[in-house]
Amino acid sequence: QAAVTQEPSLTVSPGGTVTLTCVSTTGPVTSGHSAYWVQQKPGQAPRTLIHGTSNKHYWTPARFSGSLLGGKAALTLSGAQPEDEAEYYCLLNYNGPWVFGGGTKLTVL
Amino acid sequence: EVQLVESGGGLVQPGGSLRLSCEGSGFTFSSFWVIWVRQPPGKGLEWVANIKPDGSETYFMDSVRGRFTMSRDNAKNLQSLQMTSLRADDSAVYYCASGGNLAYWGQGTLVTVSS
């Protein structure tokens, strides 16, 4: 099965901007992978923030945005808040099966 | 209120079996894929399997294919993950997720495989 790689950890200052990326070992990430971004805070269940590369659920704060960037899926956080400190996972679809990235631990400091 | 509730986790010996259930309410459960995701203690999320709304297609991660099966009873808003030949590395919190674009997640059920 394919593997998906993310930055293990990133730090952003409050109010700052950070981009998390998601790379597939099979080649460029495309819209066909229907990239999801899932947030998980300690002790909580996961929560889907972004689906279909760039679409938000109604509960997704406007400061989060998803895109494709140079063959990668990307999650950009603009105007980071302390409550955004969490683990972020990308999830890619490979025509049926899914694969999670290893997650990015985002620290807001 | 929308809910997804997993049940059936517990302590099982290596080689044993468990049946996990995922029950949906507050949304049209029968219209959506259900996926299972697990998280070993202190580790990341791992996709395990998913099943089509009508149950006609299933997909499994390599390490569980042949040991895990899935079924669903849409009349009862219930989906099951049957796990056999369990191994220590299957130990994890198991989550189900469903709804449009994985909108809904359960709170998880803990599976511990140990002698």
| pLDDT tens figures, B34-68 | 999 999 999 999 999 999 999 999 999 999 999 99
Among A20, A41, A98, which would you mutate to test the B interface (most chain B Cβ atoms within 10 Å of its Cβ)? Answer: A98
**In 3-state terms, what secondary structure has residue A26?**
coil
Mean pLDDT over B88-115 rounds to 97
What's the mean per-residue pLDDT of chain B? Answer: 97
Q: Which of B20, B26, B27, B79 is nearest to B53 (CA)?
A: B79
Confidence of residue A1 (pLDDT cuts 50, 70, 90): confident
Confidence of residue B73 (pLDDT cuts 50, 70, 90): very high
Q: Distance between CA A103 and CA A88 in Å, rounded?
A: 5
Mean pLDDT over B92-104 rounds to 96
> Between B44, B50, B59, which is nearest A89 by CB?
B44
pLDDT digits (tens, 9 = 90+) for A6-46: 999 999 999 999 999 999 999 999 999 999 999 999 999 99
Q: What are phi and psi of B31, to 5 degrees?
A: -90, -5
Residue indicated by tokens 């999830």? A91
Q: What are phi and psi of A83, to 5 degrees?
A: -75, -5
Residues of A in contact with B96 (CB under 8 A): none
Contact of B44 with chain A, judged by CB distance below 8 Å, is answered with: yes
